Amino acid sequence: MPPTDQRAKTGPAPSSLKETDWSDFRDHIATADKEGRRMWLFPKKPRGRFYRGRTWVTWILLVIMFGGPFIKINGNPLLMVNIVERRFSVLGVIFWPQDNLVFALGFLLFLMGIAVFTAAFGRLWCGWTCPQTVLMEMVFRKLEYWIEGDAGSQKALDRAPWTAKKFGKRGLKHGLFLALSFIIGNTLLAYIIGIDALKQIVTDDPRTHITGLVFMVLFTLVFYGIFARFREQACTFICPYGRLQSTLLDENTIVVAYDYRRGEQRGRYRRSETIQQRSSKQLGDCIDCRNCVSVCPTGIDIRDGTQMECVNCTACIDACDEVMDKIGRPRGLIRFASLNGIEKGQALQVTPRILGYCVILLLLGAGLVTMLLTRSDIDATLLRAPGALFQPAAEGKISNLYLLKLINKTHRPISVQLKLEGTRGTLTTLGGQLDLPAEQQTEASVLIEISPDELASGNTPLTIGVYSGERKLQSIKTIFVGPRK
Ligand code: SF4
Ligand code: SF4
């Protein structure tokens, strides 16, 4: 049945299915047309002081990003998130899954840090330091400008028939994109499994590292897909941080903003017209050249106000400053400013909300530092051997068998001894002395024998001290099972 007949039968569309107002930027995204098709963006190459600043920041970040896996502290990676083996290294310190409290606190601290930073400075992180934006705008996009030229040439090439020249340019671009994605994919893999394991995958017989090779290809294709095709959509649709901004930003947050009080009402610029003549026509400083829109990598018009797509990349600030220089007006029609800064001329305010966030941040930070400073050198767990009850032993004693798990969290070998504390009995480590190499874990069986006279009940609590020499490293609590009394 045709849709019109269907409507006639069922009546008017429910009010919730509101028609899209295509003149209102809030009603649709800038990168989709009325049919919902993706509108490919060809942003103009930015230039200006902020772009130069971002280029310097990018160089530093790229060195850190790609050099990170090669840096070791105390023989451990600077950063390693080995989810497979559940080993984590931060600034050369190895963390184990048993350090879950440290992780939880660290994660909370990270989230709170984001909240404070975003509440004060908006999405500065996104535009200047997020790996997605840094790699997309400052690496892949620059390669694209180098091969295909600026926005106008890219559009022309896109519309042109598939000639040898177009094949050549597109082939070179996508070949380089793939090669770069391969490097990025391998770098990510190095952060997960460590550079030594990655070197083994690269140098060994490929048949012995099928899983590693599969991930290498997978990561390469994912990054190629993101940087060659998905691009700004990753920030608009996928990144949860971008979605958070609506709850974190307020009228005192510093964002990339258009000074509408100074810019409106917009009007074309005429060379012959003086500033007084423009003012007499109620015209502001915005000459409606749309240069700020044409450089925007997310395709938005910042003059509409703060929008979720804006990654604070500052390209529009540079574009507008250049225009202001040309027409002899002060820079900063688009600038870093808060809504209150623009509307009321207020300077950056430390609001109670930011102060509150900072207090929580400090408390979490202090908690984390305390936990790290008091972190035990080892992690010991003692569990009763599965299925084993008490056994009669020599001299009328009763024995219980336990399974001991030990992790050496330090960078040096540790020799560990166990002592029964507060209860008379004997403790024997089956396997002799426990020598733990640096950052390794081991398991051993432990036999405890106690005379029934020493036992208060069928389940007697025991405390076992874990020592290295004379130094007590940890106390373990367990239960000794004996006959009911
Ligand atoms: S670049 Fe500046 S002057 Fe040109 S449209 Fe944008 S805000 Fe107006
Ligand atoms: S509006 Fe300006 S700061 Fe925001 S993404 Fe576009 S160019 Fe970058």
User: Between the ranges 169-183, 333-347, 394-408, where is the mean pLDDT highest?
Assistant: 169-183
Does residue 5 surpass a pLDDT of 80?
no
Cα(266) to centroid of ligand 2, in Å?
19
* pTM of the model as a whole: 0.79
Q: Relative to the alpha carbon of 297, which ligand is closest? A: 2
Query: Is the CB of 311 inside a 6 Å radius of any atom of ligand 2?
Result: yes
- Nearest protein CA to atom 7 of ligand 1, as residue: 286
CA 69 – CA 196 distance, rounded (Å)? 9
> For a pLDDT cut of 90, what percent of the chain falls above it?
44
At 436, the pLDDT band (50, 70, 90 cuts) reads: confident
Query: 337 CB under 6 A from ligand 2?
Result: no
pLDDT digits (tens, 9 = 90+) for 312-336: 999 999 999 999 999 999 999 999 9
10 class by beta-carbon count within 10 Å (0-12 exposed, 13-18 middle, 19+ buried): exposed
Between CA 82 and CA 113 the distance in angstroms is 24
Return the pLDDT at 432: 64
Which uninterrupted H or E stretch holds 210? helix 210-224
Q: Can you say how many angstroms the Cα of residue 22 is from the centroid of all Cα atoms in its chain?
A: 34
Residue type, 254: I
**CA of residue 370 to ligand 1 center, whole Å:** 51
Q: Atom 2, ligand 2: which residue's CA is nearest?
A: 316
* pLDDT of 10 strictly over 80: no
How many of the other CB atoms lie within 10 Å of CB of 240?
6
Which atom of ligand 2 lies at the shortest distance from residue 256's CA? 3
pLDDT digits (tens, 9 = 90+) for 192-201: 998 988 999 9
Closest ligand 1 atom number to CA of residue 291: 1
* pLDDT surpassing 60 at residue 11: no
In short, whether 316's Cβ falls inside 6 Å of ligand 2 is yes
286 lines ligand 1 (CB under 6 A): yes
Burial of 27 per CB tally in 10 Å (0-12, 13-18, 19+): exposed
Q: Supply the pLDDT for residue 1.
A: 33
Pocket-testing residue among 324, 325, 334, 342, ligand 1, by greatest number of atoms within 8 A of Cβ? 334
Rounded Cα distance between 125 and 117, Å, is: 9
Tokens for 4, please give them.
């019109």
Statement: residue 18 has pLDDT above 80: no
Which bound ligand lies closest to the C-alpha atom of 329? Answer: 1
Instruction: Give the burial string for 335-370 (b: 16+ CB within 10 Å, else e).
Output: bbbbbbbbeeeeebeebebbeebeeebeebeebbee
Alpha helices in 45-161 (DSSP H): 49-67, 100-121, 124-128, 131-135, 141-148, 151-159
Confidence at residue 344, expressed as pLDDT on a 0 to 100 scale: 87
User: Minimum-distance ligand to the CA of 263?
Assistant: 1
Query: Which residue's CA is the closest to the ligand 1 atom numbered 1?
Result: 320
Q: Is the CB of 288 under 6 A from ligand 1?
A: yes
- Helix, strand or coil, per DSSP, at residue 415: strand
For residue 97, give both structure tokens.
């899954």
What band does 291 get if pLDDT is binned at 50, 70 and 90? very high
- pLDDT tens, position by position, 438-456: 878 888 899 999 998 888 8
Q: Is 320 in the pocket of ligand 1 (CB under 6 A)?
A: yes
Please answer whether residues 431 and 444 qualify as being in contact, where contact means their C-beta atoms are separated by less than 8 angstroms: yes
Report in angstroms the alpha-carbon separations of 349 from 246, 247, 307, 343.
Answer: 19, 18, 22, 14
Which of 92-96, 361-365, 430-434 comes out lowest in average pLDDT?
430-434
Residue of the CA atom closest to atom 6 of ligand 1: 292
Q: Which amino acid would we find at residue 407?
A: I
In ligand 2, the atom with minimum distance to the C-alpha of 302 is: 1
